Amino acid sequence: MKQLSLTWFELYKLFSRKSVWIFFAIMVFCIYLPLQILTSSSGGYAGYYQSAPPTAQQVQQAKAEMKKIAPKLEGRNVNLSNKEEIALVREDERNSAILNAETGSAIKPTLEMLQQSINKLKAQGQIGFTYRADTLEYNMMKHLPYIGFGQYNGASNMIVDFFKTYGLIIFGAIILVGLSPIFSEEYSLGTDSFLLTTKRGRRQLVTAKILASMLYVLVMEGILLVVNVASNLSLFDIGGFNYPLQSIALYSAPFHLTVGQYIAVAVLIQLLGGIAFGFLILLLSSFNRSTLVTFFVSAGIFAVPELIVMMFGLKNWAQTLMDFSYTGLIQVSRLFKSFVAYNVFGYPVLYPILVIGLAILVSIPIVWLTYRVYCRHQIA
């Protein structure tokens, strides 16, 4: 009971910080929501996605309509204020998606290429990592549902996009603002001299702060999820949740997930990444008397990988740094962007499994070090 009451007290301190709620209100109500409202008012077209193999009748109709529409659009810049021209473009997109789907699933060429690579490597007796990785990708891709053509831009797509854009920024910043003072503030205010001499013990205090920080991250992720889902369902066309994840252009990794299932997975992964990043902030805070030092060092760890990728582009080392950073994990989308397997003793280990496992493994010594640093802290 004592540990529980101490944890609730630490949680109360976290949620009573005015800076957390002021920052949250500014980001959500002054930046995110206005931009989403502007996007919905200026667009309004959800797009078209061919989610099933087209029938012969659909193909025949699309070909006939394409012949009628093509001369009207040829060499013309579409006037977005002209409803008739916009309608023609939308019809053209729909017909193109149907005709492209006539040849089969969008992943058919990739499957054929992988099959050729596997057969060639096997014939040459090269059954090492490359052969195993290609076989793994082929088997995963073979079990995917039909992947169609076109693009859907409704609420489901916008909810997915939130995780890698606004969600990444707001969630990361909220963790920074809330957790940076967790030890540093006590040091700077001198309250550590009282806390470290209480009968409850230093280890209990650290445990309470760790549990409180995990609950804090959990609650903030939940609040962001409500904002994300409620805002996008109210502003955009509702649909697309049952489409395969690969229906969104950014995601080509062969994971058998619908868009709706991916949203649930993204919440869990972002939560895990947030908790792991929170543990690092706690460790840095246990070292520093200055909250600002903790905040800026933690912010640097969070932001620098993204800045490096922006500066150096697609260089392998920059991409790898981002892939294995807290930023890449909390962004989530990188894990599902394409098929990536790392060589672990000659066997392919999928990138999402590897990075999630590493995040958990790295968090263990970080938490242990936090206990050790705080328990050995000398009262000034």
Report d(CA 223, CA 217) in Å as an integer. Answer: 10
- What's at 190, amino acid-wise? G
Q: Which helix (H) or strand (E) holds 228?
A: helix 202-235
| Residue predicted with more confidence, 350 or 45 | 350
pLDDT band at 39 (very low <50, low <70, confident <90, very high): confident
Looking at 25-39, 62-76, 231-245, which range is the least confident one?
62-76
Instruction: Specify whether the CB–CB gap between 256 and 145 falls below 8 A.
Output: yes
Instruction: Specify whether the CB–CB gap between 240 and 156 falls below 8 A.
Output: yes
Residue-wise pLDDT tens digits, 79-122? 555 667 677 878 888 999 999 999 899 999 999 999 999 999 99
Report d(CA 102, CA 125) in Å as an integer. Answer: 37
Residue matched to tokens 């060499």: 75
pTM of the shown model:
0.91
Look at residues 301, 277, 285 and name the one whose alpha carbon lies nearest to residue 370. Answer: 285
Residue 220 has pLDDT above 70, yes or no: yes
Residue matched to tokens 């070090």: 369
| Residue predicted with more confidence, 68 or 337 | 337
Opening angle at CA 295, ends 290 and 296, nearest 5: 100
Residue-wise pLDDT tens digits, 361-371? 999 999 999 99
Report d(CA 149, CA 223) in Å as an integer. Answer: 34
How large a percentage of the chain has pLDDT more than 70?
Answer: 90
Could you tell me the residue ranges of all domains in the chain?
A: 2-44+154-375, 54-103, 108-143
Average of pLDDT values for 35-43?
84
Which pLDDT score, from 0 to 100, does residue 199 have? 46
Residue 161 has pLDDT above 60, yes or no: yes
Q: Count Cβ atoms within 10 A of the Cβ of residue 216 and give its class: 0-12 exposed, 13-18 middle, 19 or more buried.
A: buried
